[in-house]
Amino acid sequence: MKQSHDQFDMSQAEGLNTDQAESLFSRIGQSFRKNVQGERTDTPSINAEEARRLVDCFEEANLGWFWSTDRRGKLSYISANTAAAIGKEAGALIGSDFADLFDSEEQEAEQNRSLRFILTKHRKFSDIPFKSAGKEEDIWWDLTGIPQFDQGGEFDGFVGIGKNVTERIDAEQEESRLAHYDSLTGLANRALMSKKLESTLSAFKQQKRACTLMQIDLDRFKLINDTLGHPAGDALLKNVAERLMRLLSGRGEVARIGGDEFQVLLPDWDDRGELSDLADAIISSLSQPYTIEGSRCVIGASVGIAISPFDGRTPEDLIRSADMSLYAAKGAGRGRFSFFSEKLLEAVNERKILEDDLRDALDRNEIELHYQPLVKSTTDKVSCFEALMRWNHHERGPISPGIFVPIAEETKLVLELGTWAIRQACHDAMSWPGKVRVAVNVSPIQFADPNLPEIVKQALKSSGLHPDRLELEITESVFLEETTETEEMFASLKRLGVRLALDDFGTGYSSLSYLQNAPFDKIKIDQSFVRGSNKPGSRNGAIIAAIVALAEALKMDTTAEGIEAHDELDWIKSLNVSQIQGYIYSKPIIQDEVLGHFGSGEWKIEPEGPALQRDDRMSIFRKVRIVFGDSYEAAVLRNLSKSGALIEGLICLPKGTKLVVDLGDGQLAVATVRRSNESQMGVEFEERLINDGFGGLCTRRRVSPYLIAAAGLPDSKQLQQGLS
């Protein structure tokens, strides 16, 4: 039979690509639609049987499948095989909305046009991927559609081609996943987090919203890699990722940005109280023991925190601020967090200068030991002194241990300083009467030094001090590795006859197995349990009582640290703690003062301090601005606590006056004057300040620089310049 120009045999369908198929279908489309519906046309056309044969051939060759709709978008044709792939029967689908076969929500979530929207435009579309709706496994189709019009030019529906492209989409998604997700943990990688951070900051800048970036670095992770191997390290990183995801629980984005570094992006978080709680929770969670390939592993974590727009308005600035905060946290002893502040910029340079000066401090005789008494709780008589290292810098004067001790640990200068401290403490203690002991802190780095037993032995020998009069205070962090070397070190020290005390018990990586396996003679209860232990609702008293009972059962002494007020003292004594240490008895004093107090052969101290415990106050000299009424005046902050401050240099305001203390960097603290005289006034904050993670205090929230500018107030840099 001779073919007309509109008629084709089945062989014409072989080897057709999508473009050729479109051409074929555009030529047979209208007649196909009408023939399969049993209608006639006035133009030459193939008959229904030939049209079906062409369609079957096209579909059997796996080139795709035909579909058609009426003008309302209702399905008028779909092959049985295709319907089965979608999970339906062809007959049941005829007359249903074609768009309902595909997942429009997923398409819209990716900011693409939905099929329903496309069909309403009555225009041709080509090779747009859509996912089958209601399927457990993803099936993707590339759809091409050609609008059809009747003789009057009215839209009459679509005819089109579909092609299964699941393999291609899966490959593209896998490629995208590899490009944007960490292959080990499944978390977002650095590239994806950078994009999310950039898009978030860009959107939030317009909306004047805040967001927080946390930089997390694992402490002592390298040790796991070195001792157990990289497979164990990889398994540990997976566990870390799982803990972070559980802890965040959808409240933020978590990424692994390389090695043992992680990032957390927290949109709309700027409450530093909540952020400090979260940082503490992250540190605590990541520091709990892991079981990797049958081995028990314990690591730590440090966290740096930066908040936009206060600490940076661009991704680069915010990451730099978070990195600097992380560096500060690690430099302050690891296992802690730090918020970014402008003072960290100065601290980086200051730290390097102090590190260089600390190397020469012993040779310059700038290091000395001060001794704080520990008294028996039943008699108030001194039974021991804790040796505390002090640095009197030749130019700067006293340097806080909180500053120079972390520097010493990071640079390994702690080995030299620790050796000197043991020798000096033994020498000084020989001048004390009776059986009064001296306690010396041993850092984890020093404890890991195989020369430590010999250093202690030589210090005892050269001084003549009886070993039982020397206590070595060791923190729980020495158990992080739990190696045979740790057990051997304990055994070596006990063979010398010295006493061992577990310092800061309950604040780190507590485990009762420490007390079972390590030969401690004393447990020191950290002051964090003492603070507020006698307040209604506090569980600290019950915890202390349990520690005391445990220590008594194991024939160990107990020491409560940081006692300052009489209400705390009475409460602690009622709990049967063996020894008490704190300012209520004495601050650390020099050797000459120690000797002066032993004129009668013993030293009994009458406790002196406030009746009730109050918030710690930091003595400072810091310029601030005070906002009251329409005035914005300079003043000096003389001390600061979480609940209030002492201010001078301002015409004193009457009691009850409301004011705002501008602490700089967007920190505005609303306060009320509680006492006032000619030169000073004491104010109480409406909202308590919080720990900034670096030994200071800060407000829970900051006022956005956008609002500060709108109010006509100076920003942090302008304020600093104006006050200097």
| pLDDT one-digit tens code per residue, 197-223 | 999 999 898 888 999 999 999 988 887
Q: Is 703 within 8 Å of 716 (Cβ atoms)? A: no
Question: Above 90 in pLDDT, residue 167?
Answer: no
| Cross-strand partners of 290 | 297
- Please give the pLDDT value at position 30: 47
Question: Above 50 in pLDDT, residue 408?
Answer: yes
User: 346: which residues sit within 8 A by CB, 6+ positions away?
Assistant: none
- pLDDT band for position 485 (cuts 50, 70, 90): confident
- pLDDT band for position 31 (cuts 50, 70, 90): very low
- Please give the pLDDT value at position 43: 45
Q: β-pairing, 499-505 with 295-297? A: unpaired
H or E element at residue 624: strand 618-628
- pLDDT band for position 83 (cuts 50, 70, 90): confident
Output 710 or 404, whichever has higher pLDDT.
404
- Please give the pLDDT value at position 205: 86
- Please give the pLDDT value at position 512: 63
Q: What is the mean pLDDT of the chain?
A: 82
- pLDDT band for position 349 (cuts 50, 70, 90): confident
Question: For the ranges 224-233, 326-335, 704-713, which has the lowest average pLDDT?
Answer: 704-713
Question: For the ranges 270-284, 378-392, 493-507, which has the lowest average pLDDT?
Answer: 493-507
- Please give the pLDDT value at position 672: 92
Q: What angle do CA 707, 709, 712 make, to 5 degrees?
A: 110
For the chain, domains (ranges, CATH) are: 10-171 (3.30.450.20), 182-341 (3.30.70.270), 351-596 (3.20.20.450), 618-723 (2.40.10)
pTM over 0.75: no
| Cross-strand partners of 579 | 376, 559
Question: Above 70 in pLDDT, residue 184?
Answer: yes
Q: Is 8 within 8 Å of 46 (Cβ atoms)? A: yes
User: 288: which residues sit within 8 A by CB, 6+ positions away?
Assistant: 298, 509
Token digits of residue 98? 């074609």
Q: Each residue of 418-428: pLDDT tens digit?
A: 999 999 999 99
Q: Each residue of 115-163: pLDDT tens digit?
A: 888 888 899 998 888 887 766 677 888 888 989 998 888 998 998 888 8
- What is the rounded CA–CA span in Å between residue 199 and residue 209? 13
Question: Above 50 in pLDDT, residue 445?
Answer: yes
Question: Above 90 in pLDDT, residue 466?
Answer: yes
Average pLDDT in the 323-342 region? Answer: 84
- Please give the pLDDT value at position 384: 97
| Cross-strand partners of 516 | none
Closest by CA position to 146, among listed 164, 163, 122, 179: 122
Please report, to the nearest 10 degrees, the dihedral formed by the alpha carbons of residues 534, 537, 538, 544 taken in order: 70
Question: Above 60 in pLDDT, residue 493?
Answer: yes
Average pLDDT in the 380-387 region? Answer: 96
- pLDDT band for position 25 (cuts 50, 70, 90): very low
- Please give the pLDDT value at position 514: 64
Question: Above 80 in pLDDT, residue 437?
Answer: yes
Average pLDDT in the 495-517 region? Answer: 75
Q: Say what percent of the chain tops pLDDT 70.
A: 82
Average pLDDT in the 322-350 region? Answer: 82
Question: Above 50 in pLDDT, residue 4?
Answer: no
